[in-house]
Structure 1
């Protein structure tokens, strides 16, 4: 249903470093680099960051977050570690979450601008 997603960032270089590391943990690479935007994906850009110089920090109470699918718990762990190593903050360490789905393994982070990003996988019991 969704073809691609974009988020606004206040510093394109800083955000590109953050997303290059965190998305690489999920198998995505930088595919497009333009003066005000960078696109990441596997075969075509699915996740974009766009420069918005006057963008205020995203408020946690906005309720918006983006969830990306990981193949393994190891990818979720690597996503979280990469985020912390490149200026992000943890908003939920990797682990099983008690949801309506069985074995919902996820990690939540915020990027340097406050965008909330989740990585999730559904390991077998």
Structure 2
């Protein structure tokens, strides 16, 4: 649905390090960096996430990334915590959304709620 998403961060260095480490298990990588900030995407995708430098505290944002497996959700969660993220929901089923909604949530450097979700049944 989206071609790209752009949002601002007040601590560019911390956010860059956080997103690179947290999203690596999902196959997301740095594709460009310039004066405005960075662009991240998967090698097989045209969709991208762009992180920009801003002076003021960034507005709250919820970003949910698709994971191909429950193992990727768990790897994202571990990597995000190691990168300095704050737990906002350990990996697990969220049946209030649907029977196979398996997700994990962390709070990133600017207070954004970052999620990885797999919609596939286990196995």
Structure ranking higher in strand proportion: 1
Question: Which ranges in structure 1 are unaligned for 5 or more consecutive residues?
Answer: none
1:32 and 1:45 in contact (8 A); partners too: no
Write the distance in 1 (CA, Å) between the matches of 2:9 and 2:17. Answer: 12
Write the distance in 2 (CA, Å) between the matches of 1:91 and 1:83. Answer: 11
2:3 and 2:47 in contact (8 A); partners too: no
Superposed displacement of residue 123, structure 1: 2.8
Question: Which ranges in structure 2 are unaligned for 5 or more consecutive residues?
Answer: none
**What TM-score do you get using the length of structure 2 for normalisation?**
0.88
Aligned CA RMSD, in angstroms, stands at: 1.7
**What TM-score do you get using the length of structure 1 for normalisation?**
0.87
- Structure 1 runs of 4+ aligned residues shifted over 3 Å read none
In structure 1, the residue matched to 2:57 is: 55
1:69 and 1:119 in contact (8 A); partners too: yes
- Tell me the number of residue pairs that the alignment of Structure 1 and Structure 2 aligns: 120
